[in-house]
Amino acid sequence: MLLAGEVVVGVGNIYASEALFLAGIRPTTRALRISRQRVERLREAIRTVLARAVEKGGSTLKDFSNAHGESGYFQLEAAVYARQGEDCRVCGTAIRLIRQGQRATFYCPTCQKP
């Protein structure tokens, strides 16, 4: 739902993965099952992630548009994005990669609850 772009416009792949991590919500969780409280936490997380990306400068945002999304300063500090198999910075569990539709999504199975 986050990536559909109808509900929350402008939340790209990287931001969606990062915001869900920050909010502790697993990307496979159905939107309808997320409590109001967690939705609020997610809303805050999206704001935080976007603000952080903007702080890094406009060139960062441009870098995000490459085909693999693999460049960009912000990404070097990503909590989960493109870090599959690496240790979660919070708990040390290996970050997982799943595909939802055409999109790659990254998450920590320990920090992010269904």
Smallest distance from Zn ion to CB 41, Å? 16
**Of residues 28 and 93, the one with the C-beta less far from Zn ion:** 93
**Can you give the binding site for Zn ion, defined by CB under 5 A?**
88, 90-91, 93, 108, 110-111
**Of residues 24 and 71, the one with the C-beta less far from Zn ion:** 24
Torsion (CA) 31, 37, 35, 85 in degrees, nearest 10: 50
CB 43, CB 56: distance < 8 Å: no
CB 23, CB 111: distance < 8 Å: no
Smallest distance from Zn ion to CB 2, Å? 19
CB atoms near residue 34 (< 10 Å): 17
Smallest distance from Zn ion to CB 62, Å? 30
